[in-house]
Chain A
């Protein structure tokens, strides 16, 4: 078996010394984090310093309207026509003009003059603030305490929680996306490393070195060596990529996600208050609107934090190895049967199709996690690595996970055995266009 070791060694070395491979290993985390950062960055409101001249005819906003860290307000009693004339030469970036109604009443209408468009964040802030002040003014005018209304309008939270077979409460809601991501990553991994085996087999065949090698080792040893070699390469690459991604995202989240973290802490505090005081909490909350807006996002973060990542990680590893071995042996057999990648189309479909089905089932899990199709799919070895992986974060009985794993591993032994038979004949077949019938016959050659 030392020869299998040699084959594994060569396989690993040839990949690890391949420039494209090295670049991809180090570039992937950069691209991944970069893309996330870009999305995050573009979605952040641009904070341009705004210096606003406020002309308030009503006098209502003089003491109630406040600026924030990028909007500063200057109140003035000037006439609007005068201010407008001086505007171009003034230091102000905009004029907010709040006028009275024709009968002297306060009406919900204002004008904003600007030199450069101040953007959505600015507009939203000013509008929300004016609205709030006007709303409170109206309530007070009718002798209603605004706190009563705020408390009466508390958002209702339904905590969806799954009770597992041991009566323990497991997380459930809010992690569908995470589940789906698990399934998707599994599919990408199986495909990526499976194709690596496929190419490696085909390379040896088209290079015509394979006959030299099989005169020294048994074809089955060659195939197994290749599969194990690529698996180890995959594990190495995965580890490097994960570590790099981890380090990078920690560094970058220090920069980008600082705000989110402080907001999250604030939210947790507020959440505690709400739980304690119920409907009377409103008086204790500085900004209930913010609390409600962010409620969904932070609930999700809290749910994610409840996931047992060690458990998910372990299952991911086991299903990846099983699924990879299952598919890579099939792909090795296909690689041995064809002369070029373009010939491989007709054989690829039956391999790609179940992976695609697995992917669609993973999407289905987001909508109806316990449907029959999903449960069946999580046991069939063609789809189980993807589907079961997408189910696991949502809580699956242990016996289901373990029996699915068992089925997967037994199936991989069968496919490897079959693949070995096809491989043995396939690698030495040149020039003939291979058909399914032909491959079927190879299974019975001695």
Chain B
């Protein structure tokens, strides 16, 4: 897949601090890209640069290999984290207005809106004022407005905040549907569960710098710690003796004669060797590798970064 968006060595400074320091990344077409990082890492600054709300001090942004310019605005859809609507304005009129600002013709915008209002079962909201809607309902309206002009690049900042699990699932399905249709989605969130579920690639920002990027699968593989989970029947003492010095037991848990043990392999021992060692002394029920979650990786990388910078605070999710 060719990249739809390339960020090359972008630096953005505000008077008192640097929001982005020499950040480069590229987003492949028709993928879901997770932009991760703790609060204040520079995610919003980067998103605002992509949306041309502000400009970079150094570096460049390429959209489909062209330098980002106002004509690209209509190909980008943006759902900011701090999102609102005009409280006193009727929903339908407001959605029409926002769609027209994105360059849609009024008639076309209306046609599409009616389609989406029906799809999300909100036909009777059209004439309601926004302050009559619940927060979740408003979020739905905002989501529709964001995707209405069928942008090729969709930037969603914490899209699930304010949704109940049912509506969150609805939105997730729509996001995957949009990708299938050819859209690229940049997805900024703190919810690591949804990152594992949705994202193909991620970039992790911390303290204005990119500290990690790549595909979710690859990253999780690289962060493997050679840790395994074994459930077995038999003698625990025999089991531990059989492991010898090849592994370190991290956690033990017994339920009558079924034991669950988490081990970390040492000294270049691989899983096959370990299994061969323990097989004679017990009956294996299950065996699996523990792959670190994105959550663990996030916390580990951010804390590493902070320690490297000499900051005492550590990040816990």
Contact = CB atoms under 8 A, between A and B. Distances in A.
Interface of A: 3, 6-7, 10, 14, 18, 203-204, 207-209, 211-219, 424, 428, 430, 441, 444-446
B57 to A, nearest CB: 6
Nearest to A3: B101
Contact of B55 (A203, A430, A446): A446
Nearest to B15: A441
A432 to B, nearest CB: 11
Contact of A213 (B15, B76, B101, B142): B101
B53 interface: yes
Interface of B: 14-15, 48, 51-57, 70, 73, 76, 78-80, 82-89, 97-98, 100-103, 142, 145
Contact of A215 (B78, B86, B100): B78
Nearest to A441: B15
Contacts of B100: 6
Given A441-B15, A446-B54, A446-B55, A216 B98 contact: yes
A215 B85 contact: no
Given A6-B100, A10-B97, A215 B73 contact: yes
Given A14-B88, A207-B85, A207-B87, A212 B142 contact: yes
A102 B165 CA distance: 110
Contacts of B89: 14
18 contacts: A6-B100, A6-B101, A203-B86, A207-B87, A208-B84, A209-B83, A211-B82, A212-B80, A212-B84, A212-B142, A213-B101, A214-B51, A215-B78, A216-B101, A218-B70, A219-B53, A424-B54, A445-B14
B83 A211 contact: yes
Contacts, number: 69
Given A207-B85, A207-B87, A212 B145 contact: yes
Chain A to chain B: the 4 pairs with minimum beta-carbon distance, closest first: A208-B84, A216-B101, A211-B80, A215-B78
Nearest to B80: A211
B91 to A, nearest CB: 13
A300 to B, nearest CB: 47
B88 A428 contact: no
B147 to A, nearest CB: 13
Nearest to A203: B86
Contact of A14 (B78, B80, B86): B86
B83 A208 contact: yes
Contacts of B84: 207-209, 212
A428 B48 contact: yes
Nearest to B78: A215
Nearest to A205: B84
Nearest to A207: B84
Nearest to A14: B89
B155 to A, nearest CB: 8
A208 B91 CA distance: 16
A207 B86 contact: yes
A229 to B, nearest CB: 13
B53 A428 contact: yes
Given A212-B145, A216-B101, A216-B102, A446 B57 contact: yes
A199 to B, nearest CB: 12
Contacts of A203: 86
B29 to A, nearest CB: 21
A446 B70 CA distance: 16
Contacts of B73: 215-216
Contact of A212 (B15, B57, B83): B83
A7 to B, nearest CB: 8
B53 A209 contact: no
Nearest to B155: A215
Given A216-B103, A445-B14, 19 more contacts: A3-B101, A6-B101, A7-B101, A14-B86, A14-B88, A207-B85, A207-B87, A208-B82, A208-B84, A209-B84, A209-B86, A211-B53, A212-B98, A214-B51, A214-B53, A216-B102, A217-B101, A424-B54, A428-B53
B233 to A, nearest CB: 58
Contacts of B79: 212
A238 B21 CA distance: 53
A204 B82 CA distance: 12
A18 B103 CA distance: 27
A217 B82 CA distance: 17
Contacts of B51: 214-215
Contacts of A211: 53, 78, 80, 82-83
B107 to A, nearest CB: 15
Contacts of A14: 86, 88-89
Nearest to A206: B84
Contacts of A444: 15
B87 A215 contact: no
Of B54, B56, B84, B102, most A-chain CB atoms within 10 Å: B84
A208 B139 CA distance: 13
A203 B131 CA distance: 14
Contact of A430 (B57, B82, B97): B82
A414 B79 CA distance: 34
A386 B103 CA distance: 42
B18 to A, nearest CB: 13
Nearest to A211: B80
Given A6-B100, A10-B97, A215-B53, A209 B76 contact: no
A218 B78 CA distance: 14
Contacts of A215: 51-53, 73, 76, 78, 80
Nearest to A446: B55
A426 B57 CA distance: 18
Contacts of B15: 441, 444-445
Contacts of B54: 424, 445-446
Contacts of B102: 216
A244 B275 CA distance: 95
A209 B80 CA distance: 9
Contacts of A428: 48, 53
A273 to B, nearest CB: 65
Nearest to B76: A215
Nearest to B56: A446
B92 to A, nearest CB: 13
A3 B74 CA distance: 12
Contacts of B98: 212-213, 216
Contacts of A219: 53
Contacts of B78: 211-212, 215
